[in-house]
């Protein structure tokens, strides 16, 4: 078999093999690049409320907490409560919490749920275990293989010896330039 044909076959088959992982890493990479703009792992929903129920730090608040839970429609989700500081009362709920300012009666219920698709792909991007580390290393080697074999697929004026060389050089210079300027 000729070297050019072997190169093309290797490029094609390795490319097919890594397509799914490339999409997964690309999606999570975009999400993680914007982690200061949005939470790609969780959806956080806040609902504000005001209550007239009086709470005091010094007394037993079990009945008042139950009354508040009924007002909020959260009786089935209740776990426990405590005063973390001053006039703040925190109620722990399954899948979230409620915070009440006992001096003003103002508060909010916060619900947290996993963001579909992004939670799972980010989990893989964070390298969740030893076996995944080896899988990721193999994936990276396959990316290198596809890149190198791709350099030698095209012949003529668009090949690696002409136009391709200029584009590869630009692709190397841009991140290096960014490192020096940043």
User: Which of these three, 69, 94, 114, is where a domain ends?
Assistant: 114
Same domain, 63 and 110: yes
Please give the average per-residue pLDDT across 156-182, as a whole number. Answer: 89
Same domain, 50 and 99: yes
Is 121's pLDDT higher than 80?
Answer: yes
Same domain, 30 and 91: no
Same domain, 137 and 169: yes
Same domain, 26 and 49: no
* Contact (Cβ atoms closer than 8 angstroms) between residue 124 and residue 24: yes
Same domain, 83 and 60: yes
Same domain, 106 and 150: no
Q: What is the pLDDT of residue 99?
A: 95
Is 56's pLDDT higher than 90?
Answer: no
Q: What is the pLDDT of residue 133?
A: 87
- Domain hosting 91: range is 42-114
Q: What is the pLDDT of residue 178?
A: 92
Is 78's pLDDT higher than 90?
Answer: yes
Closest alpha carbon to 32 in 149, 119, 93: 119
Distances (CA, A) of 170 to 140, 145, 151, 177, 182: 22, 20, 14, 10, 18
Per-residue pLDDT tens digits for 18-38 = 999 999 889 898 988 998 999
Instruction: Annotate 54-100 with DSSP letters as a single string.
Output: ---TTS--HHHHHHHHHHHT-GGGEEEEEEEETTEEEEEETTEEEEE
What is the number of structural domains in the chain?
2
User: Which of these three, 65, 93, 114, is where a domain ends?
Assistant: 114
User: Residue 146 in 3-state DSSP?
Assistant: helix
Same domain, 35 and 53: no
Same domain, 110 and 125: no
Distance of alpha carbon 32 from alpha carbon 27, whole angstroms: 9
Instruction: Annotate 166-177 with DSSP letters as a single string.
Output: HHHHHHHHHHHH
More confident residue, 56 or 70: 70
What is the average pLDDT score of the chain?
90
């Amino acid at each position: 078999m000729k070297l050019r044909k072997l190169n093309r076959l290797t490029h094609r088959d390795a490319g097919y093999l890594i397509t799914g992982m490339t999409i997964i890493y690309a999606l999570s990479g975009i999400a993680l690049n914007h982690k200061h703009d949005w939470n790609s792992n969780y959806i956080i929903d806040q609902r504000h409320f005001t209550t007239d129920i009086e709470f005091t730090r010094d007394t037993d608040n079990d009945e008042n907490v139950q009354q508040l839970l009924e007002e909020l429609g959260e009786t089935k989700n209740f776990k426990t409560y405590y005063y973390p500081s001053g006039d703040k009362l925190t109620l722990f709920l399954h899948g979230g919490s409620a915070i009440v300012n006992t001096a003003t009666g103002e508060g909010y219920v916060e619900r947290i749920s996993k963001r579909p698709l992004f939670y799972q792909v980010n989990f893989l991007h964070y390298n969740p275990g030893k076996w995944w580390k080896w899988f990721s290393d193999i994936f990276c080697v396959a990316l290198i293989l596809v890149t190198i074999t791709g350099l030698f697929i095209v012949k003529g004026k668009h090949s690696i010896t002409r136009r391709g060389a200029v584009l590869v050089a630009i692709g190397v210079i841009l991140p290096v330039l960014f490192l020096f300027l940043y």
